[in-house]
C-alpha cells in the first residue's frame, strides 16, 4: 500500500497523529471513518497523486496508529472540534494553511466541523456517506434506531468496551473482508482494533457525537452558520443513506452555501470498493477550485 508515500507522526499537543503523505501539488486531506484507518484510502490516494495533488492521510485521534488524550467525562477530548484542530495542525505542519478536505463516515463529521470553524483553511469540501449528526438524530425513528443501533450501543458507559474487547477481531470481521478492502488494509485494521485504547477512542468518538458534537451543531444552526467552502456530497447507492432520507443534497442545502452531489455505486466503504469513481469525483471537484499556494 501507499507506494512512494512518506509516513511520519505530528504532535498536536493533545495527540500524536500518524500521517501518510505524497505529492507536489495542491494539498488534499483525506479523513477516514469508523473503524478504518488512513489505509482505507490506499486505492484512492495514489490516483489523486497521479492527478497532481499532494495527498495527506492521517489516522484520526485515537484511531489506528494515532494516540490521543484520556477520555473526559463530557467526551470533549474526542469531540469533532478537538479532532478537527488536530487535522488543522497536521496540515500546517506540512506548510499548508489552506487545503482541500474530504471525509468519509465519522471523518466527514470532523471535516464538517473543520469547515465550519475554520472556513479560511478549507478551499473545497467533500463529504461522503453522511448527514450532520443532529440531522440524523432529529429524524431518528424506529427504522433508524434498528439499522444504526450501534450509535446508541457505543454510547453506553463501559459495556461496549467489555463486549468488543472479548473478541475484537470477531466483532469487526463481518464488515472487513480482506478480499474487498485489500489484505494489507485488512491487516492494519485488525492490528488497530486489537488495542484496547483504540477501541476506547473509537467509542468516545460516538459518545461525543451524541453529546457535545450534537450540541455544537445545534448551536451552529441557531446562529445561522453555514459551510462557506464549495461542498460536494457523495453517497454509496448500495448503503441506506438515500433510502432513509431521500436526496441527501436537499438536506445539505440547509447547511452549505454551495453544495452539489451524487451517488456512487458502492457499499458503504466506497474508497475501497469504488476507488476509481471516488478518486475521479474528488479530483474533478477539487480541480475546479482556485489555485492554491503550494509548498514545493
Phi and psi, residue 149, nearest 5°:
-60, -30
Distance CA 36, CA 34 (A): 5
Whole-angstrom distance, CA of residue 45 vs CA of residue 43? 6
Show the DSSP H helices in 12-149 as ranges.
44-50, 80-93, 106-117, 133-138, 142-147
Concerning whether 258 is annotated as a catalytic residue, the answer is: no
Question: Helix 80-93 vs helix 106-117: angle between axes, to the nearest 10 degrees?
Answer: 70
Q: Which H helix or E strand runs over 284?
A: helix 275-287
Q: Residue 76 in 3-state DSSP? A: helix
What are the cell numbers at 102? 474530504
Q: DSSP for 146-194, please give it.
A: HHTTHHHHHTSSSHHHHHHHH-HHHHHGGG--HHHH-HHHHHHHHHHHT
Contacts for 23 with CB less than 8 Å, ≥ 6 apart: 48, 49, 52, 53, 54, 55
Check if the beta carbon of residue 86 is closer than 8 Å to that of residue 11.
no
**Catalytic-role residue among 105, 123, 129, 205:** 105
Catalytic residue list contains 268: yes
Q: What share of the chain is helix, strand, coil (3-state, %, to 5)?
A: 50, 20, 35
Cβ 59 vs Cβ 38: under 8 Å = yes
Beta bridge partners, 19, equal 8, 58
Q: Looking at the annotation, which residues are catalytic?
A: 105, 268
Amino acid at each position: 500500500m501507499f507506494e512512494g508515500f512518506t509516513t511520519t507522526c505530528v504532535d498536536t499537543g493533545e495527540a500524536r497523529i500518524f500521517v501518510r503523505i505524497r505529492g507536489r501539488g495542491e494539498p488534499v486531506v483525506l479523513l477516514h471513518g469508523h473503524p478504518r484507518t488512513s489505509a482505507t484510502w490506499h486505492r484512492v490516494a495514489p490516483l489523486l497523486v497521479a492527478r497532481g495533488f499532494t495527498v495527506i492521510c492521517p489516522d484520526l485521534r485515537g484511531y489506528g496508529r494515532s494516540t490521543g488524550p484520556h477520555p473526559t467525562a463530557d467526551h470533549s477530548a474526542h469531540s469533532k472540534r478537538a479532532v478537527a484542530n488536530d487535522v488543522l495542525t497536521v496540515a500546517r505542519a506540512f506548510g499548508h494553511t489552506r487545503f482541500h478536505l474530504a471525509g468519509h463516515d465519522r471523518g466527514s463529521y470532523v471535516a464538517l466541523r473543520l469547515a465550519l470553524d475554520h472556513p479560511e483553511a478549507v478551499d473545497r469540501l467533500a463529504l461522503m456517506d453522511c448527514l450532520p449528526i443532529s440531522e440524523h438524530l432529529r429524524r431518528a425513528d424506529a427504522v433508524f434506531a434498528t439499522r444504526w443501533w450501534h450509535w446508541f450501543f457505543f454510547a453506553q458507559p463501559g459495556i461496549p468496551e467489555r463486549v468488543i474487547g472479548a473478541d475484537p477481531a470477531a466483532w469487526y470481521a463481518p464488515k472487513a473482508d480482506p478480499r474487498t478492502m485489500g489484505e494489507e488494509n485488512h491487516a492494519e485494521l485488525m492490528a488497530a482494533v486489537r488495542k484496547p485504547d483504540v477501541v476506547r477512542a473509537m467509542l468516545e468518538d460516538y459518545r461525543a457525537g451524541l453529546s457535545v458534537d450534537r450540541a455544537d451543531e445545534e448551536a451552529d444552526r441557531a446562529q445561522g452558520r453555514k459551510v462557506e467552502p464549495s461542498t460536494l456530497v457523495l453517497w454509496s447507492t448500495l448503503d441506506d443513506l438515500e433510502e432513509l432520507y431521500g436526496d441527501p443534497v436537499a438536506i445539505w442545502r440547509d447547511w452549505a452555501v454551495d453544495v452539489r452531489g451524487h451517488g456512487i455505486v458502492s457499499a458503504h466503504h466506497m474508497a475501497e470498493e469504488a476507488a476509481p469513481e471516488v478518486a475521479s469525483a474528488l479530483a474533478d471537484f477539487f480541480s475546479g477550485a482556485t489555485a492554491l499556494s503550494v509548498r514545493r
